[in-house]
Structure 1
Amino acid sequence: MKILLLQLLFLFPAFCFAQDNKVYVVLLGGQSNMAGRGQFQELTPENKARADEASKYVSIASGSKTVHPLSYSAPDKRQVNFGPELFIGIRLYEQFPNRKFLLIKEAQGGTSLYGAWHPQWTQERVMIGERDAKRQKMKLFSKHISIVKNVLDQLMNQGKQPVVIGMCWMQGEKDSRLEATASEYGENLKLLIQGYRNFLDQEDMLFVYGQINCPPRTKFPSGTDVVREQMADAVNEKNGIYMISTSMDSSWKDFPKREDNVHYNTLGQEKLGTAFGEVLIQNNRKIAVK
């Protein structure tokens, strides 16, 4: 018994150093419901306190290589909106206190997987998938990859060990508007997943996405159903691909929405982020448990 205790005492400092050296990384991507319309000021005092506590261990780089604490209550923070990242970070912190987490997010409202987000971007595709000149110039997959590489390099230069534990994706409403973009969604989603996995050299990287439930568009009324079905068909839990299912019930009780019936409100983003966080927690073996 004494020998065992001595061995544990000898190993404990090294284990603690290894944990302190690691930063667990989650990638986030998508369009407006990933960018987020949740309002920090509408959160309960309890949730604001949870966010502030999580921000001691959880950071975010959103749309750039600059890293900030997660919480949105800092007095110098201009942005008061939040997406699912806030409660993803809260749940990860609460489940794994004293671990360090970094979220790297790229989200642009009104962009399609067929066009601006496609990992094999072409001018022809973007002209079909995007309707305005600004989005037709966007190459969001390559932009996100570039930022991720830069931030991971920063961590390693600081002597940290980044460990990518998965990606969360919330997108598809734009693709539901046209038959051409909706009908390809499932295949394009698989290409996107493989693109990130190839970049990170992680064939089993956990990938979680939220199922869209926007009201049908008049130009292609069945578009929402087509994308929803293809999202459901792409699930492969044995291969680390999970979907957060949503309801088309217009009461939006599962994930409450704003009056436009498209964008999740503050409570909806809380529930969405929590759901993403739970999938990351329940299906991840890369976060060491003390």
Structure 2
Amino acid sequence: MNQKVLAFIALLLPIIGICQQTERDTIRLFYLGGQSNMDGFGLNAELPDSITSNLENVWIFHGNPAPDEDANGGLGLWTELQPGHGWEFSSNGDENKLSEYFGIELSFAKRLKEYYPNEKIAIIKYSRGGTSIDSVAAGRYGSWEPDYKGTKGINQYDHFLKTINMAMSVKDIDNDGIEDYLIQSGILWMQGESDAYREEVAFRYYGNLKRLMDLVRAALHRDDLPIVIGKISDSGNTKSGKTYRYSELVQYAQEKFARTEQNVTIVRSTQRYNYYDAWHYDSNGYIDLGQKFAEAIYNLNQK
């Protein structure tokens, strides 16, 4: 082999090496957060085959739901999506303990696959039942207020950050030997019920929601990331005839946020769902809510 050919090969080798090092899969990433109606109380036993079939190329990192002071909050690992990521799910970071319940993630992913048939989908989920944004309403469930210190300085926002940081630190989430490039594609937020019990807390909901969503966007490194808010509803299944005394104030704040903030919309279908109990939708409700979230976030991304 002559010297010119050898020199040409020598020039190509670094370029080939760079190409091999930068080969990456592109995956659409969505964050799911909030409280118990994002956790999900749908029963796996009631899932139709049409929802659980053909969910290939969908992965989920579900952060361990935990009280404010629990250092294990947010632990998780990437796995293929399947039923069991609802209420009572837990993770120690090495193994997931699936539950008998599901949330919006299954029907959400199913509908997204219809919109993006040739793309991979990734979901990061961290939510915890009973949690408020306002620290005054935290109680034993926890607060998303970033500055809330509690007794050990760990809150729900900290658990969210741990979930995000652990999930994003994995370079090959599907273990196919190719580095993954995650495209931030949206935030889905279903929360507000716990902020609707006290008048002064409900009045602060708009400001609290705006600040938290700004910080969630910042943590995901995109200031205009599309956001879909699920509008809270009231079952009326209590002796007083109303589950959340100041739900209208929180609903108003959610509508205001959707109208005034950039790249935000709201899902209102919750108003017609049936309930598992006084606080949580039935299985059909979660299936429909996931589909409505998918439709809304897809339309925002199309803009």
Q: Does TM-score exceed 0.5, indicating one fold?
A: yes
* CA deviation string 1:190-232 (max 9, x = no partner): 0011001222231110011101012578699641111111111
Q: How is 1:133-212 mapped onto 2 (pairs within 5 angstroms)? A: 139-155=155-171, 159-212=179-232
Cα gap change, 1:141 to 1:284, in 2 (>3 Å): same
**Is the aligned partner of 1:121 residue 2:147?**
yes
CA distance in 2, matches of 1:175, 1:119: 12
Partner Cα separation in structure 2 for residue 183 and residue 97 of structure 1: 42
Q: What SS class does the counterpart of residue 41 from structure 1 fall into?
A: helix
Deviation per CA, 1:123-159, whole angstroms, max 9, x where unpaired?
4xx6xxxxxx9xx975111211222122112136962
Partner of 1:67: 78
Residue 32 of structure 1 is matched in structure 2 by 36
Q: Does the CA-based 8 Å contact 2:146-2:158 persist in structure 1? A: no
Give the TM-score taking structure 1 as reference length.
Answer: 0.76
**Structure 2 length normalisation: TM-score?**
0.73
Bigger-Rg structure (1/2): 2
Which among 255, 260, 273 is matched to residue 255 of structure 1? 273
Q: Deviations over 1:173-198 (max 9, x none)?
A: 11101122211111111001100122
Q: Which runs of 5+ in 1 are unaligned?
A: 1-17, 127-132, 249-253
Aligned partner of residue 144 in structure 1, secondary structure: helix
Distance change in 2, residues 1:112/1:46 (3 Å): same
Which 5+ residue runs of structure 2 have no aligned equivalent? 1-21, 64-74, 85-95, 136-141
CA contact (8 A) 2:190 2:230 kept: yes
The one-letter amino acid of 2:155's match is K
Structure 1 counterpart of 2:248: 225
Match of 2:293 in 1: 276
| 1:4-63 superposed Cα distances (whole Å, 9 cap, x missing partner) | xxxxxxxxxxxxxx99711111001111100000012102233332xxx11x11111112
| Separation in 1, partners of 2:233, 2:76 | 32
The structure with the greater share of residues assigned to helix is 1
CA RMSD of aligned residues (A): 3.0
Which residue is 1:11 aligned to?
none
- Equivalent residue for 1:43, pick from 41, 47, 65: 47
Contact 1:179 1:220 in 2 (8 A): no
Q: Contact between 1:118 and 1:188, CA under 8 Å: does it hold in 2?
A: no
Say if 1:155 and 1:162, in contact at 8 Å, map to a contact too: no
- Identity in percent: 26
Matched, 1:57 2:68: no
Contact 1:20 1:99 in 2 (8 A): no
